[in-house]
């Protein structure tokens, strides 16, 4: 029996007691957080404040202590301090040096502000760490700048078959793939032994929200679609298929889940595919724009797609359902071309800042002559008066000679892969034109 219980007859509360040294996440106030900043930061619990109802927390990154009560404890988690790192020293619980909101633990050492460690969601797998260590050894004689070396290390964690030296990357090109991540997806959804297939979407397939099939677990379906979404960073060949199945995450059925699993079967057969960026001196920006017409059976909206090149390999792409219902293929292609023009203007600005200004108008290839004629016609007439004003931005860009729209045959339209399901022959052809290969 405690003295408090003997005096008052009530047992003292111990809900506020926490495990000393446990990991804790403190809330970052909105006033001190940027728009895309982390909402919490990791700390180490080192005690209680004697003046306020708060916890004393220690930040091993900045080597400072702070007091906060808006925290979440992870008492089962553990910090990996290493063996010879003096920066992980936890200060004593005395009052000296901890009276202010934030004070330096080591007064003699000045530590510049660094990015919070919580910006990295999780540690890379061990096999990636080993590969990164082997690759970065060859960079020691090339990059003496620590920050530059760290950037290249992060790149090596993403690229599966990265060059062994910086000179090789700038001379022979770079091959980027997510083979290990794709294998993890197949393992997670128990599709390691599935039968491979040639295309991610069946040609001519039509999915609907009103499907009468049996309902499936929405959480499992969303997890699968989210995993595929991340894979599209280096796999533009599955972008349309992933966007198609993502339209039915609210009430997925067995039909939708079967379509999503078909993408996994396609990935199984192309597990080692990626993008090969060859060395080139051609910095001319070229884009392709395309659209289907009323492809969505539920709301009859069209799907826009575009892709941009610098050299022989695509480096940015998009497949997205249009926000409006168009009345003809001409309007659908016109709206899609405007989307691609907006992206092209941003790319021109970005390349100019990077030292590669586009001196000539950027070419946008469209396979609809009516849409091209409409974009070049400054006259306001009845056939286009109902189109929203923002979609006429393409006319201004053409008049300012920032963009030029050219006709391309449908069989040579690379963006066709982002707007509709294709047969096997056309799909393989366009996939090759995107720069995707399994050979370095």
C-alpha torsion angle, residues 254, 256, 261, 264 (rounded to 10) = -170
Average pLDDT, the chain: 82
- On whether the CB atoms of residues 407 and 366 are closer than 8 A, the answer is yes
Structural domains of the chain in order of their starting residue, each with its CATH number: 19-97 (2.30.30), 126-172 (no CATH), 281-408 (3.30.420.10)
Reduce the secondary structure of 363-408 to three states and give it as a string: EEEECCHHHHHHHHCCCCCCCCCCCCHHHHHHHHHHHCCCEEEEEC
Report pLDDT for 300. Answer: 95
Report pLDDT for 173. Answer: 76
What are residue 41's DSSP bridge partners?
26
- On whether the CB atoms of residues 61 and 77 are closer than 8 A, the answer is no
- Quote the CA–CA distance of 318 and 308 in Å, as a whole number: 9
- Quote the CA–CA distance of 203 and 427 in Å, as a whole number: 10
**Residue 237, Cβ density class (10 Å: 0-12 exposed, 13-18 middle, ≥19 buried):** buried
Q: How confident is the model at residue 75 (pLDDT cuts 50, 70, 90)?
A: confident
Q: What would the pLDDT profile of 138-160 be if each residue is shown by its tens digit? A: 444 444 444 444 444 444 444 44
Q: What would the pLDDT profile of 378-400 be if each residue is shown by its tens digit? A: 877 777 888 888 899 999 999 99
Q: What would the pLDDT profile of 45-56 be if each residue is shown by its tens digit? A: 899 888 888 889
- What's the whole-model pTM score? 0.64
Q: Give 331's DSSP letter.
A: H
Sign of CA dihedral 211, 215, 217, 220: negative
- Quote the CA–CA distance of 82 and 104 in Å, as a whole number: 22
Q: How confident is the model at residue 206 (pLDDT cuts 50, 70, 90)?
A: very high
Q: Give 100's DSSP letter.
A: S
331 φ, ψ (degrees, to nearest 5): -65, -40
């Amino acid at each position: 029996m405690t003295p408090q219980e003997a005096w008052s007859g009530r047992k003292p509360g111990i809900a506020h007691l926490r495990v000393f040294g446990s990991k804790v996440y403190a809330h970052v106030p909105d006033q001190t957080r940027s728009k895309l900043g982390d909402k919490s930061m990791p700390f180490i619990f080192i005690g209680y404040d004697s003046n306020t109802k708060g916890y004393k927390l220690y930040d091993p990154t900045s080597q400072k202590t702070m007091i906060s009560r808006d925290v979440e404890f992870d008492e089962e988690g553990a910090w990996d301090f290493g063996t010879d790192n003096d920066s992980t020293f936890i200060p004593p619980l005395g009052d000296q040096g901890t009276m202010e909101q934030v004070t330096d633990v080591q007064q003699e050492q000045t530590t510049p502000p660094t990015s919070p460690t919580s910006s990295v969601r999780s540690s890379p797998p061990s096999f990636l760490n080993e590969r990164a260590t082997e690759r970065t050894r060859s960079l020691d004689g090339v990059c003496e700048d620590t920050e530059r070396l760290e950037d290249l290390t992060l790149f090596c964690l993403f690229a599966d078959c990265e060059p062994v030296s910086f000179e090789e990357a700038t001379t022979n090109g770079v091959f980027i793939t997510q083979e290990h991540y794709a294998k993890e997806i197949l393992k997670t959804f128990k599709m390691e032994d599935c039968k491979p297939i040639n295309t991610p979407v069946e040609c001519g397939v039509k999915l609907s929200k009103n499907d009468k099939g049996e309902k499936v677990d929405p959480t499992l379906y969303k997890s699968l679609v989210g995993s595929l979404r991340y894979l599209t960073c280096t796999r533009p060949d599955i972008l349309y298929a992933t966007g198609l199945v993502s339209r039915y995450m609210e009430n997925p059925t067995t039909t939708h889940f079967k379509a999503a699993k078909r993408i996994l079967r396609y990935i199984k057969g192309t597990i080692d595919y990626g993008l090969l960026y060859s060395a080139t001196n051609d910095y001319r920006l070229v884009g392709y724009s395309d659209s289907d017409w009323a492809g969505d059976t539920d709301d009859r909206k069209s799907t826009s797609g575009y892709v941009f090149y610098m050299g022989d390999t695509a480096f940015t792409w998009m497949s997205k359902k249009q926000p409006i219902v168009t009345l003809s293929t001409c309007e659908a292609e016109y709206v899609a071309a405007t989307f691609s023009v907006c992206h092209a203007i941003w790319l021109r600005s970005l390349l100019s800042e990077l030292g590669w200004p586009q001196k000539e108008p950027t070419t946008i290839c469209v396979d609809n002559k009516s849409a091209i004629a409409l974009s070049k016609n400054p006259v306001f007439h009845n056939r286009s008066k109902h189109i929203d004003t923002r979609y006429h931005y393409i006319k201004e860009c053409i008049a300012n000679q920032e963009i030029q729209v050219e006709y391309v045959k449908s069989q040579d339209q690379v963006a066709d892969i982002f707007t509709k399901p294709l047969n096997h022959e056309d799909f393989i052809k366009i996939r090759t034109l995107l720069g995707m290969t399994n050979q370095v």
